[in-house]
Structure 1
Amino acid sequence: MIAPMTPAQITAAIESLESWRYDSDRRALYRQLLFPGFPQALSAMMEIGFAAEQADHHPEWANVFDRLDIWLTTHDADGVSQKDVDLARVINRLMIGRLRQ
C-alpha cells in the first residue's frame, strides 16, 4: 500500500507547486487550467493522459470547453501521496506557455 502524505508534507508540497491547492473534501491536489479554446484543452488532456499512463497514475478531471479541472489523489493511500505531487509537477511542466493569460 502507498503511504499517504501527512498534512505538513501536503502543505510543503503545495508551497512548491505553482497554482495547485489542497481540496480537503476530495483529499486531493487540485488545479484549474484555462486554455484559449477547446482544441487546446483537448490537446492538453491527451498530453497529460499519456504522461499519466506512463506514470501509471491517473487524474480525476472534468472538461468544459476551455477549462480543465484536475484532482490528483491516490485511492490506495486514501489521500495525497508522492505520486500525486510528482504528477502535478509533470502537468505544470507540460503546460508552460499553453494556458490562457
Structure 2
Amino acid sequence: MKEVEKFTDEQIADYLGQLDGWEYVDGAIETTFEFKDFKEAFSVMTRIAFECEAQSHHPDWSNVYNTLNIRLNTHDANGVTEKDFVLARTIEDIIESEF
C-alpha cells in the first residue's frame, strides 16, 4: 500500500481556499452543516457514509438533531493529506446536490 504524504500548513491553507466553510483545527480539517431537521441530517450522513466506504476513508463526525460536525484527517499519516481534501470535496458535492 502506498504511503500517504502529510501536508504542510501551507499546503493545507492552499487547499482550504478551494472549500467553503472548512477550517484547519488541531490537526484536522473540519466543518459544520445545519439541516432542516434530524431526518434530513441523517439522510445526508447516510449518503456521505457510502462515499466514505467507497474511498476507504472515514470521518470523525457527530450529529445532534439537525447539526452535523465533520473532522477529517488521515490517521496513517498523523495529519491532513490529499485523501482528506478529496473526501471533503465529495461531501461538498453531496450537500450541494441535496439542497
Using structure 1 for the length normalisation, give the TM-score. Answer: 0.92
Aligned partners of 1:35 and 1:98 also within 8 Å: no
Runs of 5+ in structure 1 lacking a partner?
A: none
Question: Does the CA contact (< 8 Å) of 1:61 and 1:69 recur in 2?
Answer: yes
Is 1:40 matched with 2:20?
A: no
Structure 2 alignment gaps of length 5 or more: none
Alignment: residue pair count: 97
State the 1:81 CA deviation.
Answer: 0.3
Q: Provide runs of 4+ in structure 1 moved above 2 Å.
A: none
Amino acid in structure 2 at the alignment position of 1:12: D
- Cα deviation, 1:31-80, whole Å, max 9, x if unaligned, reads 10100000000001100000000000000000000000000000001010
Work out the CA distance in 1 between the residues paired with 2:9 and 2:29.
12
Q: Distance in 1 between matches of 2:97 and 2:33?
A: 12
Alignment match, 1:20: 22
CA RMSD of aligned residues (A): 1.1
